[in-house]
Amino acid sequence: MGYNVAIDGPAGAGKSTIAKLVAKEKGYVYVDTGAMYRGLAVHFLEEGIQADNAEQIAEACRDVEVTIRYENGQQQVYLNGENITSRLREEAVGNMASRCSAIPAVRAKLLELQQKLAETQDVIMDGRDIGTCVLPHADVKIFLTASVDTRARRRYDELKTKGADCDFREIREDIVERDRRDSTREIAPLKQAEDAILLDSSEMSIAEVVAAILALCR
Q: Please say which residue, 95 or 218, places its beta carbon nearer to ligand DC.
A: 95
Q: Any alpha helices (H) in 30-103, and if so which ranges?
A: 33-46, 54-63, 91-100
Closest approach of ligand DC to the CB of residue 14, in Å: 11
Q: Please say which residue, 128 or 154, places its beta carbon nearer to ligand DC.
A: 128
Closest approach of ligand DC to the CB of residue 52, in Å: 16
Q: Please say which residue, 194 or 218, places its beta carbon nearer to ligand DC.
A: 194
Closest approach of ligand DC to the CB of residue 120, in Å: 20
Closest approach of ligand DC to the CB of residue 56, in Å: 19
Count other C-beta atoms under 10 Å from residue 118's C-beta: 24
Length of the chain: 218
Q: Please say which residue, 20 or 178, places its beta carbon nearer to ligand DC.
A: 178
Cβ-in-10-Å burial (0-12, 13-18, 19+) of 125 comes to buried
Where along the sequence are the contacts to ligand DC (CB under 6 A)?
A: 11, 33-34, 37-38, 94, 97-98, 101, 127-130, 178, 182
One-letter amino acid of 47:
E
Closest approach of ligand DC to the CB of residue 109, in Å: 12
Q: Please say which residue, 11 or 66, places its beta carbon nearer to ligand DC.
A: 11
Task: Round the CA-based radius of gyration of the chain to a whole number and report it.
Answer: 17
97 sits in which H/E element: helix 91-100
Query: What is the rounded end-to-end Cα distance, in angstroms, of the chain?
Result: 15
How far, in Å, CA of 213 to CA of 199, rounded? 9
Nearest Cα neighbor of 28 from 20, 16, 37, 36 is: 20
Instruction: Confirm if 155 and 37 have CB atoms less than 8 A apart.
Output: no
Closest approach of ligand DC to the CB of residue 206, in Å: 17
Q: What is the dihedral of CA 148, 153, 154, 157, to 10 degrees?
A: 160
Q: Please say which residue, 14 or 215, places its beta carbon nearer to ligand DC.
A: 14
